[in-house]
Protein backbone atom coordinates (compact mmCIF):
# COMPACT_ATOMS: atom_id res chain seq x y z
CA UNK A 1 0.00 0.00 0.00
CA UNK A 2 1.20 3.49 -0.74
CA UNK A 3 1.81 5.63 2.32
CA UNK A 4 -0.17 8.86 2.66
CA UNK A 5 1.75 12.08 2.10
CA UNK A 6 1.57 12.95 5.80
CA UNK A 7 3.51 9.83 6.87
CA UNK A 8 2.48 6.58 8.50
CA UNK A 9 -1.11 5.48 8.67
CA UNK A 10 -2.51 5.63 12.17
CA UNK A 11 -4.06 2.14 12.23
CA UNK A 12 -7.22 1.84 14.33
CA UNK A 13 -6.22 -1.68 15.41
CA UNK A 14 -2.76 -2.69 14.13
CA UNK A 15 -3.34 -6.47 14.38
CA UNK A 16 -6.84 -6.61 12.83
CA UNK A 17 -7.18 -6.95 9.03
CA UNK A 18 -10.82 -5.76 9.19
CA UNK A 19 -9.84 -2.56 11.00
CA UNK A 20 -6.95 -1.91 8.60
CA UNK A 21 -9.24 -2.42 5.60
CA UNK A 22 -11.75 0.04 7.06
CA UNK A 23 -8.92 2.52 7.65
CA UNK A 24 -8.21 2.34 3.90
CA UNK A 25 -11.71 2.11 2.32
CA UNK A 26 -14.14 2.24 5.20
CA UNK A 27 -16.10 5.38 4.46
CA UNK A 28 -19.25 5.45 2.35
CA UNK A 29 -17.87 7.49 -0.52
CA UNK A 30 -14.68 5.46 -0.99
CA UNK A 31 -16.55 2.20 -1.46
CA UNK A 32 -19.10 3.83 -3.77
CA UNK A 33 -16.23 5.17 -5.90
CA UNK A 34 -14.70 1.68 -6.01
CA UNK A 35 -18.15 0.24 -6.91
CA UNK A 36 -18.53 2.73 -9.73
CA UNK A 37 -14.99 2.12 -11.01
CA UNK A 38 -15.91 -1.58 -11.21
CA UNK A 39 -18.97 -0.55 -13.24
CA UNK A 40 -16.88 1.46 -15.71
CA UNK A 41 -16.59 4.98 -14.26
CA UNK A 42 -13.25 6.47 -15.30
CA UNK A 43 -13.44 10.26 -15.01
CA UNK A 44 -14.16 12.74 -12.25
CA UNK A 45 -17.46 13.52 -13.98
CA UNK A 46 -18.37 9.82 -14.20
CA UNK A 47 -17.93 9.42 -10.44
CA UNK A 48 -19.76 12.65 -9.64
CA UNK A 49 -22.72 11.74 -11.87
CA UNK A 50 -22.98 8.21 -10.47
CA UNK A 51 -22.78 9.18 -6.79
CA UNK A 52 -23.96 12.79 -6.56
CA UNK A 53 -20.98 13.43 -4.29
CA UNK A 54 -19.83 17.02 -3.74
CA UNK A 55 -16.77 17.99 -5.79
CA UNK A 56 -14.55 18.69 -2.76
CA UNK A 57 -15.37 15.33 -1.16
CA UNK A 58 -14.86 13.47 -4.44
CA UNK A 59 -11.50 15.18 -4.93
CA UNK A 60 -10.43 14.15 -1.42
CA UNK A 61 -11.61 10.53 -1.75
CA UNK A 62 -10.01 10.04 -5.17
CA UNK A 63 -6.74 11.48 -3.82
CA UNK A 64 -6.83 9.10 -0.84
CA UNK A 65 -7.69 6.08 -2.98
CA UNK A 66 -4.77 6.90 -5.27
CA UNK A 67 -2.40 7.39 -2.30
CA UNK A 68 -3.51 4.11 -0.77
CA UNK A 69 -2.96 2.13 -3.97
CA UNK A 70 -6.62 1.34 -4.70
CA UNK A 71 -7.05 3.54 -7.80
CA UNK A 72 -4.50 4.67 -10.36
CA UNK A 73 -4.67 8.19 -11.84
CA UNK A 74 -3.26 8.97 -15.28
CA UNK A 75 -3.64 11.86 -17.70
CA UNK A 76 -6.40 11.31 -20.26
CA UNK A 77 -5.29 11.11 -23.91
CA UNK A 78 -6.42 14.75 -24.35
CA UNK A 79 -4.07 15.76 -21.52
CA UNK A 80 -6.75 18.01 -20.02
CA UNK A 81 -8.29 15.60 -17.55
CA UNK A 82 -7.42 12.43 -15.67
CA UNK A 83 -8.55 8.85 -16.02
CA UNK A 84 -8.98 6.68 -12.93
CA UNK A 85 -8.66 2.90 -13.02
CA UNK A 86 -8.62 0.26 -10.34
CA UNK A 87 -5.26 -1.17 -9.38
CA UNK A 88 -4.98 -4.91 -8.66
CA UNK A 89 -5.65 -4.06 -4.97
CA UNK A 90 -8.76 -2.13 -6.01
CA UNK A 91 -10.00 -4.96 -8.24
CA UNK A 92 -9.44 -7.31 -5.31
CA UNK A 93 -12.22 -5.45 -3.45
CA UNK A 94 -14.78 -7.04 -5.80
CA UNK A 95 -15.66 -9.77 -3.31
CA UNK A 96 -16.08 -7.15 -0.57
CA UNK A 97 -18.46 -5.11 -2.75
CA UNK A 98 -20.43 -8.25 -3.69
CA UNK A 99 -20.69 -9.27 -0.01
CA UNK A 100 -21.97 -5.78 0.93
CA UNK A 101 -24.44 -5.86 -1.96
CA UNK A 102 -25.78 -9.26 -0.94
CA UNK A 103 -26.07 -8.27 2.72
CA UNK A 104 -28.00 -5.20 1.59
CA UNK A 105 -30.31 -7.34 -0.56
CA UNK A 106 -31.11 -9.53 2.44
CA UNK A 107 -31.43 -6.84 5.11
CA UNK A 108 -32.30 -3.46 3.56
CA UNK A 109 -34.97 -4.29 0.95
CA UNK A 110 -38.43 -5.74 1.29
CA UNK A 111 -38.98 -8.88 -0.83
CA UNK A 112 -41.04 -7.03 -3.46
CA UNK A 113 -38.92 -3.86 -3.53
CA UNK A 114 -37.22 -3.04 -6.83
CA UNK A 115 -33.39 -3.14 -6.82
CA UNK A 116 -30.46 -3.58 -9.13
CA UNK A 117 -29.14 -7.11 -9.65
CA UNK A 118 -25.54 -8.19 -10.21
CA UNK A 119 -25.39 -10.74 -13.04
CA UNK A 120 -22.64 -12.69 -14.79
CA UNK A 121 -21.76 -12.47 -18.49
CA UNK A 122 -24.79 -14.68 -19.33
CA UNK A 123 -27.21 -12.45 -17.41
CA UNK A 124 -27.59 -14.93 -14.54
CA UNK A 125 -27.63 -13.46 -11.00
CA UNK A 126 -24.45 -14.08 -8.98
CA UNK A 127 -24.98 -16.79 -6.34
CA UNK A 128 -24.88 -15.86 -2.68
CA UNK A 129 -21.36 -15.72 -1.24
CA UNK A 130 -20.81 -18.00 1.73
CA UNK A 131 -17.47 -18.59 3.48
CA UNK A 132 -16.30 -22.18 3.66
CA UNK A 133 -13.59 -24.08 5.51
CA UNK A 134 -10.61 -25.63 3.77
CA UNK A 135 -12.72 -28.79 3.38
CA UNK A 136 -15.66 -26.92 1.82
CA UNK A 137 -17.93 -26.89 4.90
CA UNK A 138 -19.90 -23.67 5.47
CA UNK A 139 -18.47 -21.58 8.32
CA UNK A 140 -19.84 -18.63 10.29
CA UNK A 141 -19.14 -16.56 13.40
CA UNK A 142 -20.07 -19.54 15.61
CA UNK A 143 -17.63 -21.95 13.95
CA UNK A 144 -14.55 -19.71 13.55
CA UNK A 145 -12.23 -17.70 15.79
CA UNK A 146 -9.37 -15.25 15.40
CA UNK A 147 -5.80 -16.25 16.23
CA UNK A 148 -2.96 -13.82 16.85
State residue 3's pLDDT score.
46
CB 87 within 8 A of CB 69: yes
Whether residue 69 is contained in a domain is answered as: yes
Whether residue 140 is contained in a domain is answered as: no
Whether residue 98 is contained in a domain is answered as: no
pTM above 0.75, yes or no: yes
- Which range of residues forms the domain containing residue 57? 17-91
User: Tens digit of pLDDT for each residue in 64-96?
Assistant: 999 999 999 999 988 889 999 999 999 999 999
Measured distance CA(60)–CA(144) in Å, rounded: 37
User: If you compute the radius of gyration of the chain from its CA atoms, what whole number of angstroms results?
Assistant: 18
Whether residue 106 is contained in a domain is answered as: no
Domain with residue 67: its CATH number is 1.10.10.10
Whether residue 57 is contained in a domain is answered as: yes
CB 48 within 8 A of CB 55: yes
Whether residue 84 is contained in a domain is answered as: yes
The average confidence (pLDDT) of the chain is 92
User: Tens digit of pLDDT for each residue in 4-13?
Assistant: 444 567 888 9
User: Tens digit of pLDDT for each residue in 122-145?
Assistant: 999 999 999 999 999 999 999 999
State the total domains in the chain.
1
Whether residue 146 is contained in a domain is answered as: no
State residue 8's pLDDT score.
64
Q: Averaged over 48-77, what is the pLDDT? A: 96
pLDDT band at 37 (very low <50, low <70, confident <90, very high): very high
Percent over 70 (pLDDT), the chain:
95
Whether residue 129 is contained in a domain is answered as: no
Q: Averaged over 38-64, what is the pLDDT? A: 96
Amino acid sequence: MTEPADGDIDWTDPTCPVARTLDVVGDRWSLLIVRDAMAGARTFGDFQNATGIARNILTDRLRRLVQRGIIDRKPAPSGRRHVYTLTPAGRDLFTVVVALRQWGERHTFTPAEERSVLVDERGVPIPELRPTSATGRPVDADTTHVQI
